[in-house]
Amino acid sequence: MDSLRLRFPRLFGPPSVPRLNAPLPVLSPLSTSIQLGLSKIEVASRLQRFFSEVRRNHLFIRGGIPNVHNQSAEHTVLEENIAPMLEIDPPFKSSPGKAFPLGASVVEDGVNFAIFSQNATSVTLCLSVHGSVHNEEVRNGMIEVKLDAQVNKTGDIWHVCVEGLPDSGVLYGYHVDGPREWDKGHRFDSSVVLLDPYAKLVVGRKFFGDATDKVSQFLGTFDFCSLPFDWGPDYKLPNIPETDLVIYEMSLRSFTADESSGLDSSICGSYLGVIEKIPHLVELGINAVELLPVFEFDELEFKRFPNPRDHMINTWGYSTMNFFAPMSRYASAASGALGASQEFKQMVKALHNAGIEVILDVVYNHTNEADDEHPYTTSFRGIDNKVYYMMNFDNKAELLNFAGCGNTLNCNHPVVMELVLDSLRHWVKEYHVDGFRFDLASVLCRGTDGAPLNAPPLIKAIAKDPALSRCKIIAEPWDCAGLYLVGSFPNWDRWAEWNGKYRDDIRRFIKGDPGMKGTFATRISGSADLYQVNKRKPYHSINFVIAHDGFSLYDLVSYNNKHNEANGEKGRDGCNDNFSWNCGFEGETDDVNINSLRARQMKNFHVALMISQGTPMMLMGDEYGHTRYGNNNSYGHDTFLNHFQWKQLEAKKGSHFRFFSEMIKFRHNHPILRRDRFLGKNDVTWHEDNWGNPESKFLAFTLRDDKFGNDIYLAFNAHDYFVKAAMPAPPHKKQWHRVGRCTIL
């Protein structure tokens, strides 16, 4: 076993220090607030023992001991060696370790650390073994383990095994150095302690949005001593068929962060907070939650330097820092990284026991590390920028930006692709999640040079991976550089898609745009024009009218224009094509007729969504009519703009909420609304002879149930006047019963 190498650049001058026969004490660069809590007396004691060891082994240190005494700072420390010698713990020892698995793993001899970097010339493991996670202590001193490329490197993987480390509570990161050739894609900075891309747990600041700790250091940690999580003897995965899904998109924090939730402040905005509100989800009738990003991210990233957005907090989470660790500040009562892991599992278990699946919104298209103008180096950029990010080598290796956030993950590079797959498998195996929605998934269809690929390796690998075979996989089939793949996303008959055309066409018809009737009929029938290819099914169309970005449902019927001034970008951000209608007045009004019309329009949208073939998805808060007051890009507001308002829900329980809940249950109770095949000529009768008239805004049809005779007649009237329509004859020995009405007038 080799002892850990000392790093005393100020004591010994040149870095070449002969190795001692006996283990040396392990010290970081000298500091009176060193992480291990060494006092000046203890430092002096260790130094004295060190020099005794040098003399005993007849080793020569270049520059000689007198040169050490010539340095005033160290001389001050050495003068204190008159103090009594203190007993200290034996130093940690190291061995070469092994290349796999990546990350930190427990082995027979200790803890193995392995990290990939193809272009690094130097890698140093940084360790903090003190129980405290106070970030000042972390920055002021860590044990450093210099890796030898001749001993601690296999291929492009650097590795070392450290003996004697605690099984939990250790913080770790890396110093990585390499070529300083910017135009060749390198962004190495050996002064930064970098987060391990494969860290399974991440320690950062304790409290969400704590601006007093905005420059917090993020480090990896591990726990090898806790018992496996108890999923329970009767626990089982819901395994809901895709035909039966009703998805509820929600922000985990915003769901219970508001004081109106009535929860104890220690669990507001947390994983445990969601558990407390599961009865609401059951009452609403949804059976899957799609959680906005819950991977570790830095919510205070806008506050790193003065900018128009520095008043905001990233509350949506689309700025991933690590792909394996659950967001630590979503844990209750500042219980940290380990608490986040345990409580996330508790949440999944509780949701599963209630028959609700968990789908994660995942961001593999970019990271938090921003662009080259305002870089935020925390991990990938400093470990191997040239591998992890797409770059334009024809223009000084500038970062390509297909995600609109400053960088683009090089996701079809073999190493990065394996990172993504390992991350997905981890969330399925460790946390039992049921599926993933891939943010800006068209980015994942680009090659390492940014060019679109016909058969992207990563997309195929996700579809074919055995560990992911039970998962729902959903693409947001566009990116910020114009690669729009709705209906043509490479799918291997498995990938579902957010159907952006459904959203736009449903909005346009119901608000009364001319010429939309035929398109509306196509969309509610399952968008066969987009998805009836090969073995694709109607449920591969994720139908939605509202999502987290864009107007809420209430705002869709209350605003003609976005009102994003609070975002600090003078209203330039956010989508301009909302296809909204304010029903006659912009924003809030006391006009009873306008408010009544808005209420009916929201119901019209919800009915269309719930009777459409395909998989419906609704947004958190639309069940009571949540408003963001016209802000269609509220990603940076950890306030009432995004927080679920539980008192408003109670006020709407008997009206708006009841309608939404009953409509969802109506869908569950009628299989002909959720077929696993596209409609044929015997499945639907269109009561129409006016298809070619662009001014026709009335549509009526009957869905046929040949098995049980439970036909459903539906009619939509988007005119601003009543339309008389003759009802068709009911099935044999049946009669029609009106379920509901929510006309525009």
Q: What's CA 603's distance to the chain center, in Å?
A: 31
> Is-contact 30 47, C-beta < 8 A?
no
CB 536, CB 543: distance < 8 Å = no
Q: What is the DSSP string of 143-203?
A: EEEEPPTTTSEETTEEEEEEES--SEEEEEEEEEE----GGGT----TTSPBPPTT-SEEE
d(C-alpha 474, C-alpha 497), whole Å: 5
Distances (CA, A) of 305 to 302, 318, 572, 650: 7, 19, 21, 41
Active site residue 439: yes
Give 474's strand partners.
437, 496
**Burial call 485-502: b when 16+ CB within 10 Å, e when fewer:** bbbebbbeebbbbbbbbb
| Catalytic residue, candidates 196, 290, 369, 439 | 439
**What amino acid occupies position 466?**
P
719 Cβ partners below 8 Å, 6+ apart?
A: 512, 697, 698, 744
The secondary structure of 524-560, three-state, reads HCCCHHHHCCCCCCHHHEEEECCCCCCCCHHHHCCCC
Whether the CB-CB separation of 180 and 186 falls below 8 Å is answered with: yes
Whole-number Å distance between alpha carbons of 42 and 77: 10
Q: Give me 683's structure tokens.
A: 């499945």
> DSSP assignment of 489-518, as one string?
---TTT-EEE-HHHHHHHHHHHTT-TT-HH
Instruction: Name the active-site residue from 476, 505, 513, 623.
Output: 476
Rounded Cα distance between 356 and 469, Å, is 19
- C-alpha 15/C-alpha 165 separation (Å) is 26
CA distance 158 to 113: 8
Residues 286/356, Cβ–Cβ less than 8 Å: yes
d(CA 45, CA 31) in angstroms, rounded, equals 15
User: Is 476 annotated in the active site?
Assistant: yes
Q: Which residues are catalytic?
A: 439, 476
